[in-house]
Structure 1
Amino acid sequence: MSGDWTLDPDTVAALEVPETSDFWDVPGSRRLERLAGDASLATRREDPAVRWRDLSFDVAGRSIPIRLYEPVEHPSPRGAVAYFHGGGFVFGNLDNEHDRLVTWCRDSGALVMSVDYRRAPENPYPAGVEDCRESVRWMLEHADELGIDPNRWCVGGASAGGALAAAVAQWARDHVSPPPVAQILLYPVLDDRATEGSTRTYFEGLGWDGRRVEKMWELYLQGTPADPGAAPAREEYLAGLAPAYVLVCEHDPLRDEALDYARRLSDSGVEVELHVLPRAYHAVDVIAPESVLARRAMREQGDVLRHYVGPRR
């Protein structure tokens, strides 16, 4: 194991759960993921303040599944969040961050839309980001029906979903009116060129490491040259982007690219709120949700969401 993996003791036990995201055995890992998902249904978080429903919409001959989380009591029009789950562009679905989004909806009073975008390797780049863009178009086109204020929406995502959120924020700056008011980037994937620094420091280790990052890009791009739609750090012009909340984990191969992107955003005049979780591994808030670190991160996210898309005072 490479690098310094001094972890918060509160989060160590959660790492003993068997790994279900093997990029070298995608079919086998997806079977394990489905089994884990079925087992988690009994403990899936529900909240009387939040109702949710699954639906889909059609575009260009395909159907895009989404899940909508709606606050029970907050009046419309309310703010909205377009959220893209993690999973290295290969794994993940509408269930694997369900608990987070129930909390986001409850704490912010906003509608949250989670998108089940197409995944690699069957659907390499740009399929996933195209689905995310189309979901934003759909959400805004149906703003009245959904009871949302099209002037108060943001994007968010974790890990690979953070890449999709950052890419959609860049696209929306230039192609969507009104553009998003914020981008919530949780330990995001951002740069296919990041092969040194934390990627190398944590090349082999616990859970998400640099080896998986390399394989992820291979499966996602499949020889297609990367552009900002795939790797948002490749975008040279960052001015005018939505304010960003960036969450970084100390012991994460993605750490340095997230720190660099946050710095570049700030240098370009974009408002940035950067938080670094000490002694934390990648996706600690999902893997060890009851830990002090995870609870701290969720409180911060709730505060940010209320500020940007919460009920107007």
Structure 2
Amino acid sequence: MSVPAVDPELRTLLETADTGVFPVHGLDAVLADPGRYALLRARPDTPADDQVEVRDLFIPGPGGQLRLRIYRPDTPDVLPVVLYVHGGAYTYGSPEAEEGRSLRYARDARAVVVSVDYRLAPEHPFPAAADDVYAALVWVAANAGEVGGDPARIAVAGGSAGGNIAASTVLRARDQAGPRILFQLLTYPGVDAGLTTHSAREFTDTPVLNRAALEWAVRYYAKDSHADPYAFPIRAADLGGLPPTYIAVAEIDPLRDEGRDYAARLSAAGVTTELVQVPGAVHGFDLLFPSARISERSLADQVRALHDALHP
């Protein structure tokens, strides 16, 4: 099967734009190179937004002090809360690396965004990241007032590896009678370690994310935990009772089909599920190139889904 055509504007940006230390080709080579990998882990400069206050807050976590980065619109109102989980193949990334998306969610969905600086593999394999994010959820539900948030209106969102951990967090909250979650939003999530879907087998050399990088990420993160549903939520025997869900997948992405499969299983379990496949998009397109037309449309749709769920 031939790979679908990349959106023309994205294709030009992939060929010409400066994405800093992030490689748009050959991520697997960067993960294997200690020097380049260290640069990928560095926290980038962050954008400014005079409509959103940004601050760090530290709470006790399972592995020690856990940093939460808080994004709150400039309003005295009590707002819903979006617990956000950044991506980065489980091995890099930070709240700062995805600050543009957090600012957008906070400003346009009118919510307090709490982005979790969870522990990274390979130094901290599963369940470290999942434990950190679940601890953040429990803290937010118990202390929402400290960030001007409403504990009765909590959503969990994440992209890529963060989409996996977000889905795991929601599943765990159901299983352990934890905080009530109104909504989950997963953007091109990696929810299956098997790498046996059609897109994972066929899209071996796609831009931004290729199969070799996926294999690195799964090995570093999961080690021998592939069957654990909190490591890879598609392995859960039952997906019933989860909150309404929005899943966006990129058409030209090895993770595409596992996102589609997860949406199908949620729907079959009676969970209200919206699945959007973004045509011509590659993995991480809206983070790398947020001003591209295709990214603007996708980000606006994500905001719409969050706003509708949290401001009924």
Residue 33, structure 1, aligned to residue 40, structure 2? yes
Tell me, yes or no, if the aligned pair for 1:163 and 1:231 is still in contact at 8 Å. Answer: yes
What CA distance in whole angstroms lies between the structure 2 residues aligned with 1:301 and 1:173? 23
Partner of 1:110: 111
Partner of 2:279: 278
CA deviation after TM superposition for structure 1 residue 221, in Å: 1.6
Mapping for residues 187-206 of structure 1, pairs under 5 Å: 187-206=188-207
SS of alignment partner, residue 71 of structure 2: strand
SS of alignment partner, residue 142 of structure 1: helix
Tell me, yes or no, if the aligned pair for 2:197 and 2:258 is still in contact at 8 Å. Answer: no
Residue 59, structure 1, aligned to residue 33, structure 2? no
What CA distance in whole angstroms lies between the structure 2 residues aligned with 1:236 and 1:308? 26
* CA deviation map 1:39-69 (0-9, x unaligned): xx2xx32222211101211234601111000
Structure 2: tracts of 5 or more residues without a match: none
CA deviation after TM superposition for structure 1 residue 26, in Å: 5.6
Tell me, yes or no, if the aligned pair for 1:74 and 1:109 is still in contact at 8 Å. Answer: no
Partner of 1:171: 172
RMSD of aligned residue pairs (Cα, Å): 1.8
SS of alignment partner, residue 279 of structure 1: strand
Structure 1: tracts of 5 or more residues without a match: none
What CA distance in whole angstroms lies between the structure 1 residues aligned with 2:212 and 2:291? 28
CA deviation after TM superposition for structure 1 residue 134, in Å: 0.4
What CA distance in whole angstroms lies between the structure 2 residues aligned with 1:26 and 1:96? 20
Partner of 2:132: 131
Partner of 1:305: 306
CA deviation after TM superposition for structure 1 residue 307, in Å: 1.1
Q: 1:68 aligns with which of 67, 70, 77?
A: 70
Partner of 2:7: 8
In structure 2, relative to structure 1, the CA distance for the partners of 1:31 and 1:158 (3 Å cut) is: same
**Structure 1 stretch 254-263 or stretch 197-206: which is displaced more?**
197-206
SS of alignment partner, residue 194 of structure 1: coil
Tell me, yes or no, if the aligned pair for 1:56 and 1:66 is still in contact at 8 Å. Answer: yes
Partner of 2:292: 291
Tell me, yes or no, if the aligned pair for 2:62 and 2:132 is still in contact at 8 Å. Answer: no
What is the TM-score normalised by the length of structure 1? 0.92
Residue 182, structure 1, aligned to residue 183, structure 2? yes
* CA deviation map 1:225-272 (0-9, x unaligned): 431111010011011101100001000000111101101101111001
What CA distance in whole angstroms lies between the structure 2 residues aligned with 1:178 and 1:61? 21
Q: 2:51 aligns with which of 49, 52, 75?
A: 49
CA deviation after TM superposition for structure 1 residue 176, in Å: 4.1
In structure 2, relative to structure 1, the CA distance for the partners of 1:107 and 1:176 (3 Å cut) is: farther
Partner of 1:237: 238
In structure 2, relative to structure 1, the CA distance for the partners of 1:112 and 1:200 (3 Å cut) is: same
SS of alignment partner, residue 140 of structure 1: helix
What CA distance in whole angstroms lies between the structure 1 residues aligned with 2:63 and 2:8? 49
Q: Which residue identity does 1:67 align to in structure 2?
A: R
What CA distance in whole angstroms lies between the structure 2 residues aligned with 1:69 and 1:176? 27
What CA distance in whole angstroms lies between the structure 2 residues aligned with 1:161 and 1:243? 18
In structure 2, relative to structure 1, the CA distance for the partners of 1:13 and 1:32 (3 Å cut) is: farther
Tell me, yes or no, if the aligned pair for 2:70 and 2:147 is still in contact at 8 Å. Answer: no
Percent sequence identity is: 36
In structure 2, relative to structure 1, the CA distance for the partners of 1:156 and 1:292 (3 Å cut) is: same
* CA deviation map 1:135-180 (0-9, x unaligned): 0011111122222221110100000000001001111112245410
Mapping for residues 13-24 of structure 1, pairs under 5 Å: 13-16=12-15, 17=19, 19-20=22-23, 21-22=27-28, 24=31
What CA distance in whole angstroms lies between the structure 2 residues aligned with 1:12 and 1:90? 26
What CA distance in whole angstroms lies between the structure 1 residues aligned with 2:51 and 2:31? 41
CA deviation after TM superposition for structure 1 residue 5, in Å: 4.5
CA deviation after TM superposition for structure 1 residue 203, in Å: 1.3
In structure 2, relative to structure 1, the CA distance for the partners of 1:178 and 1:216 (3 Å cut) is: closer
In structure 2, relative to structure 1, the CA distance for the partners of 1:26 and 1:228 (3 Å cut) is: farther
